[in-house]
Every structure is written in C-alpha cells, then in structure tokens.
Amino acid sequence: MTIKQIMERVGLTETGRAVAYIKDALEEINVRSETHITTSKISLAKDQRLYDIPNHVIQIKDVRVKNHLNSKDEYRSISRLIHKPLVKDADGV
Amino acid sequence: MAEVKEYGYYIEGNKIAIVQKDISFDNDVNSRNYGPDADKILWKSPLESVTDGLELQYSYVPDYRINDASDTQAITGYEEEGTGLLKVTGGSLSTSASITHIVIEGLDNFNGLHKVKTLHSDYYILETKYNGPDVTNAGTMSIDVSVLQDESFEIDLPTYLQKALIYYIKSKFFEDLGDLEKREYFETLFLEQVERHNNAKIAGFRVIATSSNAIK
C-alpha cells in the first residue's frame, strides 16, 4: 500500500501530516509486533565499556558477544546485569 | 586453545555497557580482591579488543526500502567533515544524482539510513552530525534506497498490519481534532488488529519459562 492510498482511505490531503502519522504508526506497530528485525555488529575496544546504541533502534531483542562461553568464534547471548560494577574501571566508568 | 570468556551487559542511557569477567588473580595484599581463589572475580570493561565482537539484534522502523540489495558500495572508514558532518570514505564511488539516501551497514555507530549532502567519487558527505577522530572501519552502503517522504512510497508492512496502520492514523487524526470518543474507538481497533496479527503467528499452547539469558 502506498502513502497515497493510505491518505485516500483516511481522508487526509496533506502529505507531510500523513507521513508524520505513518512514521508514528510504524514505530508503534514495531513496539508491539516487531515486524522488522535486524542485527548490527560493533567492534569491542579494550578498556572501553560504553558503546552507542544505533539511533533507529526501537527494541533490543538480543545482545550477543563473540566467544562468550566458547572458543569457537560463536556469538552467544549474554546476560544483563541488574547492578553495574561498583568499582571504577580503567576507562573511568 | 583460546581462553573462554564471559561477558555481561547493562544499559546506561542511550549506550550499552559491555563488561567482561576478569578471573585473573590479584595478589596485591593491599587490594580488596587479594586472594588465590577464582571467586575473586570482577566485572570489568572488555579486557581486549575484538573486531565485530558485539552483535545487537533489534527492531527498527521500516521508514525506508532497499530497492536493490546487491547495489552496494564499500566503505573504508569515516571522519568528521569541516562543518561537523559525517563523511564516509571509499574508492570509485558512484556520483549518480539519483543517490539521495544511503543505508549503512558495518560502521559501528552509524548503521541505518542517512541523507546524502554531497557526492564525490572518494567520499560522501552525509547530513548526519559527527564530531570525532578519523576512523578506519570497513563497511558497506546500499545506494538504491526509497525513503518514506512522498506519496509514491510503498509501505513495507504485512497486509494484515496495514489495516492496523489505517486505524492508528484515524485514531491520531481524531485525537488532533479533540474527538476523544472516536480516538478511543480507533485505538481499540488498532490494538485488537495488532494482537490478532501476533496471535496468528503462534501455533499451539504457550509456556512461560525462564530464558537462558535471564537476569543474573
């Protein structure tokens, strides 16, 4: 379905307004139904703890790290910690 | 044999913190972790660099469509352009005027859709803010991309959910008009439609169980 068809079904005439509504709708649908899922790889740097989450992320589904509990270069899911470590690290975090 | 590693994560604002278990002995008598036992473990920042070591799986808004997935170009790195914009570098890049947006994959922080400001055979300047050092990082970019911005764009959504999208837009439309009764009506239809779509994909009974990556 194109934006034009949606506008006709809803009765909207302003394209900008329709696009804004559709973007909101797609976001809301993805929060509830996860229609589009992708993966992204980030390089880990020694002594760097924080990494940017890509801006277009709606929901993180899984976090996997290479060689976590294996030595076969497999990516495996890692656990989420409830509390961050109390002792400061080399990178000051 | 390579040493087996153990990682964990937590979220801090819009960043993800990756920590690694350090099981090396700390035999400094002045340290609170002094002792010969392996239970003197600490979570620390990654103990070594790993190329493509972290893999995030996430949902995103499909506000663009890649028309030809094979129409890609290699990126060799990125840097800050003079005015604080992101400049991705490569070699023999296409300068076709039809390239208005690109979708990047493989660059640590910049995966996703970007609007192109300047095309050059050695680099593209994007309308994405970046302040930082020059980085060498191999990635790819799709250049045949349609973006949700005009009436001809075809929404990439299952047919059943397209009806939910109509209900959502009507709900917001009446919300803006101040007609809350109709807003509630269409909101309910939207939620029911999405729920039916979710239920239709799962056959059989459902069991709730602790996952292997549950909270420690």
Which sign, positive or negative, has the C-alpha torsion A49, A50, A54, A57? positive
Of A25, A36, A55, which has the smallest distance from its Cβ to B165's Cβ?
A25
Q: Which two tokens stand for residue B205?
A: 């009974």
Phi, psi of A74, deg, nearest 5: -85, 145
A5, A18 in Cβ contact below 8 A? no
Q: pLDDT, tens digit, for every residue of A6-40?
A: 999 988 899 999 999 999 999 999 988 888 898 88
Residue-by-residue pLDDT tens, chain B, 216 positions: 456 889 999 998 889 999 998 877 666 667 666 666 545 567 888 989 998 899 999 998 888 989 998 999 999 999 999 889 999 999 889 999 899 999 998 887 788 889 999 999 999 999 999 888 888 888 899 999 999 888 888 888 888 999 999 999 999 999 999 999 999 999 999 999 999 998 888 777 777 777 777 776
Q: Which two tokens stand for residue B29?
A: 């008598």
Chain A residue closest in CA terms to B107: A42
- Say yes or no: B210 contacts chain A, CB-CB below 8 A: no
Of A19, A42, A62, which has the smallest distance from its Cβ to B149's Cβ?
A19
Chain B residue closest in CA terms to A13: B151
Q: Helices (DSSP H) in B115-158: which residue ranges?
A: none
**Is B15 in contact with A53 (Cβ distance < 8 A)?**
yes
Q: What is the mean pLDDT of chain A?
A: 88
Question: What is the ipTM metric for this complex?
Answer: 0.89
**Is B43 in contact with A85 (Cβ distance < 8 A)?**
yes
Which sign, positive or negative, has the C-alpha torsion B80, B83, B87, B92? negative
Tell me how far the alpha carbon of residue B211 is from its chain's centroid. 23
Give the torsion through C-alpha atoms of B85, B87, B93, B94, to 10 deg. Answer: -10
Give A8→chain B minimum CA distance, Å: 10
Which residues in B lie closer than 8 A to residue A12 (C-beta atoms)?
169, 173
Residue type present at position A78: I
Q: Can you tell me the distance from the alpha carbon of A36 to that of A63, in angstroms, rounded to the nearest whole number?
A: 17
Q: Which two tokens stand for residue A91?
A: 């990178």
| DSSP class per residue in chain A | -BHHHHHHHHT---HHHHHHHHHHHHHHHHHHH---EEEEEEEE-TT--EEEPPTTEEEEEEEEEETBT-SSS-EEE-EEPSS--SS--TT--
**Is A78 in contact with B8 (Cβ distance < 8 A)?**
yes
Phi, psi of B43, deg, nearest 5: -85, 125
